[in-house]
């Protein structure tokens, strides 16, 4: 187990994944309120995965100025629009189906159109966004984040990229790029579960150039549970 005292200052360790989710939701609601007071809207890039899903379930129970929240996707799998393995479906079932956020403020990646058209469409949609308020990221066992995988090379100077050889099915996906994900006031990296330990060790020892390390916002926080250490 990694010594907590040796961690960088922007790493925050929690007892459980539930504690990660609860703290994040409180922080998100505070940041959203600040952004709406400052500029009238709050932009959030969502992530797939187990830990973010807990956050969405908790968000569904909150009271907030939902009319001014705008939801974007960090990545999406190329599957039919109602496929249960799509991030948009999981996000909707946990949170968005509750109808608090206007449908016109929910911006899914239209991967049912195919990766090329979906990527072009989403790049056009987010072109006017210079900076997201918050980007949420999860991490896979191999250190991947969004649909950006270790050892894979993606075009630079693009806001949206296509993954055609994902190690996990489906092989074809569309993802925001490292550059676009980094265009954020705050990035939260959510790391939970014992199966993440090896990737976390490599990350801390700087022995690997993991995708999760390639995204840095103006502020970046790593929320991690003790099991992942």
Tens of pLDDT, residue by residue over 4-14, are 778 999 999 99
Please give the structure tokens belonging to residue 67.
């009319």
Q: 43-90: per-residue pLDDT in tens?
A: 999 999 888 999 999 999 999 999 999 999 999 999 999 999 999 999
Q: What is the mean pLDDT of residues 199-225?
A: 94
Please say whether the beta carbons of 98 and 69 come within 8 A. Answer: no
List of domains in the chain: 10-153+181-228 (3.40.50.1360)
pLDDT band at 103 (very low <50, low <70, confident <90, very high): very high
pLDDT at 223: 98
pLDDT band at 208 (very low <50, low <70, confident <90, very high): confident
Q: 113-169: per-residue pLDDT in tens?
A: 999 999 999 999 999 999 999 999 999 999 999 999 999 999 999 999 999 999 999
The DSSP secondary structure of 136-177, one letter per residue, reads EEE--TTS-BTTB-TT----SS-SEEEES--SSSSS-EEEE-
The dihedrals phi and psi of 32, each to the nearest 5 degrees, come to -65, -45
What residues does 43 pair with on adjacent strands?
Answer: 70
Q: What is the mean pLDDT of residues 24-46?
A: 99
pLDDT at 3: 59
3-state secondary structure of 192: coil
User: Which residues, at least 6 apart from 104, have a Cβ–Cβ distance to it below 8 Å?
Assistant: none
Distances (CA, A) of 224 to 110, 153, 218: 31, 27, 19
């Amino acid at each position: 187990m990694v010594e907590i005292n040796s961690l960088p200052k922007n790493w925050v360790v929690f007892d459980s994944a539930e504690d990660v989710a609860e703290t994040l939701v409180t922080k998100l609601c505070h940041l959203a309120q600040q952004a709406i007071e400052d500029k009238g809207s709050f932009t959030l890039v969502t992530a797939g995965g187990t830990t973010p899903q807990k956050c969405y379930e908790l968000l569904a129970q909150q009271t907030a100025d939902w009319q001014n929240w705008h939801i974007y996707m960090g990545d999406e799998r190329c599957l039919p629009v109602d496929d249960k393995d799509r991030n948009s479906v999981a996000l909707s079932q946990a949170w968005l189906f509750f109808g608090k956020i206007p449908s016109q403020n929910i911006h899914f990646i239209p991967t049912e159109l195919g990766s090329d058209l979906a990527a072009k469409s989403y790049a056009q949609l987010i072109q006017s966004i210079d900076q997201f308020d918050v980007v949420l990221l999860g991490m896979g066992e191999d250190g991947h984040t969004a649909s950006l995988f270790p050892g894979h090379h993606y075009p630079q100077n693009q806001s949206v990229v296509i993954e055609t050889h994902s190690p996990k099915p489906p092989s074809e996906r569309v993802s925001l790029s490292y550059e676009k994900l980094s265009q954020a006031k705050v990035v939260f990296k959510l790391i939970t579960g014992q199966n993440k330990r090896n990737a976390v060790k490599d990350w801390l020892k700087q022995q690997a150039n993991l995708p999760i390390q390639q995204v840095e916002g103006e502020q970046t926080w790593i929320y991690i549970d003790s099991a992942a250490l």
